[in-house]
Amino acid sequence: MPRLPVLHRPKLVSLRTTFAVSFAAVTAAVTILVGILSYGSAARLVRVDQQSVFTQVVQDVRDEVRQHQMGPEDFSSARPGHDLVRPARTDVQVLGARGQIVDHGRPVLPVTAQDTSMATARPAGAVVQYKDVPVDEDVFRIATVSLGGGRGAVQVAQEFSDTEDLLHALQQRTLILMSAVVVAAGLFGWWLARRITRRLVILTSAAENVARTRQLGIEVPVAGLDEVGRLGRAFDRMLGRLAQSEEDQRRLVQDAGHELRTPLTSLRTNISLLRRIDELPPATREELVADLTQEARELTDLVNELVDLAAGQSDSEPPQRVDLADIAEDVVGLAKRRTGRQIVLRASGDTTAEGRSGMLQRAMSNLVENAAKFDRGGEAPIEVRVTGPARPGTVRVEVLDRGPGIADCDLMRIFDRFYRAADARSLPGSGLGLSIVREVALAHGGAPFASRREGGGAVIGFTVGGAATESAGVRGGG
């Protein structure tokens, strides 16, 4: 059986190493480019300067021999006050009338047939030049200038290899300097990468710790005002919200389990009685069936409200510009058909805001149904008021009824999950309706509120688009 090829997992490269290598690579590229350009410019300037000196010396000799009738003895190095100035690294050799060496240079320069022809030439100032002429172990450029009248010639030579040796030494020093700069850049890049990525390493360790332990309460010790500091603070806030969400889910499950236990126990008890339904009198049978129907309805309402509450915490409906007065009008029309009560809608001001229409409709429906439940049999109409803006960018929604009002012991607890006041426990409901109102209000940047109504009853509602909490009191029930 053929063996399957082993897939090697690629080795992870840290951001610190990547940053240091990248920094060193960029520095190396820039250093090499600058070094090459600098060396090229320096070498070109040196060569041009040497060529200019040599050309000037040759031109001076030509001007002298053209202006004055001069012989080989006039250029002899042994003659005091000889006419030719010898620059550094310049050699002069004088030829006689037959091309023989009268005054040899140091070193002795080679004499070719062309040099001999220059020595016997009639015109003064004629010149012949040679490049890259090897003399001993050095390389020269040579120019031979005729003295005219067949009197001889002067050879001017400039050492070329010395200049190239100088440039070669400059090249070696440039390479050494570039290598030192690259090494220093690599070390500095590593130090800088450690300094920059230190806080990123802390964030990475915190994220890995959360993934490993699943503990969201880990503090992220990251400071600073740059992007890394902002990332650390955002990560810390994200962990805080995740921890709060996890705690809300845990509490919701615990509360839901506690609330579901009572109707399920009652259902189980009544179902066990169904086994002896033939032994029960007709009146007891009717009461048992009615009880089962009522408990099944309450259990269904409880499950639906739990689903609504969970949907309110993670609603995927995109926010858009909505008119809360239009939403309230739809809610009022539906509530009239369900309850048969008289419900009045009053809207004033600009009632538009950014929000999710489904969530806002759910919250308004819960408020109206809550008012109808507590004001059962009331003759005064239920009022729904939508006002905006109470403050800049804030829309206020409130429902007013003439029910029994709010007991002092129930203040500040009406929006708690599953909380039901003592006078509401005999009424149908789960205690989740106003909790959903609170979740919707907070999700829209507002807050729920409740208070006693002057003349009896209650005022319960919420704001959209404001962060201030309005609370004078709250009523149990939902």
Q: How does pLDDT run across 21-79, given as a tens digit for each residue?
A: 777 788 778 878 887 887 777 777 777 777 787 788 888 888 888 888 888 877 776 66
Peptide bond into 404 cis (omega under 30): no
Inter-residue contact 174 to 39 (CB < 8 Å): yes
* Range of weakest confidence among 34-38, 95-99, 414-418: 414-418
Q: What is the pLDDT of residue 259?
A: 59
Report residue 359 as tokens: 């969530």
Q: How confident is the model at residue 469 (pLDDT cuts 50, 70, 90)?
A: very low
Q: To which residue do tokens 């003895």 refer?
A: 73
Q: What is the pLDDT of residue 428?
A: 47
Average pLDDT of the residues of the chain: 76
Residue ranges per domain, the chain?
17-166, 216-316, 317-466
Q: Whole-model pTM?
A: 0.44
Name residues whose C-beta falls within 8 Å of residue 309's C-beta, 6 or more positions apart in sequence.
252, 417, 432, 435, 436, 439
User: Half-sphere exposure of 343 toward its Cβ, with a 13 Å CA cutoff?
Assistant: 29
Inter-residue contact 202 to 222 (CB < 8 Å): yes
Say if residue 473's pLDDT is above 70: no
Let me know if domain 317-466 sits in CATH 3.30.565.10.
yes
- Specify the long-range contacts of residues 197-206, CB closer than 8 Å, at least 24 apart: 197/14, 197/15, 197/16, 197/19, 199/223, 199/224, 199/228, 199/229, 199/232, 200/15, 200/228, 201/16, 202/232, 203/228, 203/231, 203/232, 203/235, 206/235
CATH number at 216-316: 1.10.287.130
Inter-residue contact 111 to 99 (CB < 8 Å): yes
Number of H helices, E strands in the chain: 8, 12
Name residues whose C-beta falls within 8 Å of residue 38's C-beta, 6 or more positions apart in sequence.
174
Torsion, Cα of 226, 230, 233, 237 (10° steps): 170
Q: What is the pLDDT of residue 80?
A: 55
Cα–Cα distance measured from residue 147 to residue 55, given in angstroms and rounded to the nearest whole number: 17
How far from chain centre, in Å, is Cα 221? 19
Report residue 477 as tokens: 């029930």
Report residue 193 as tokens: 């990468």
User: Higher model confidence: residue 208 or residue 93?
Assistant: 93
Inter-residue contact 440 to 359 (CB < 8 Å): yes
Concatenated DSSP letters for 254-274? HHHHHHHHHHHHHHHHHHHHH
Q: How confident is the model at residue 384 (pLDDT cuts 50, 70, 90)?
A: very high
81 CB burial (10 A radius; 0-12, 13-18, 19+): exposed
User: Higher model confidence: residue 197 or residue 361?
Assistant: 361
* Range of weakest confidence among 89-103, 112-126, 353-367, 408-422: 408-422
User: Which among 179, 186, 189 has a CA at the least distance from the CA of 31?
Assistant: 179
Q: To which residue do tokens 């090897």 refer?
A: 134
Question: CATH topology of 216-316 equal to that of 317-466?
Answer: no
- How many CB atoms within 10 Å of residue 399? 28
Alpha-carbon distances, residue 169 vs 122, 175, 265, 472 (angstroms): 45, 10, 99, 90
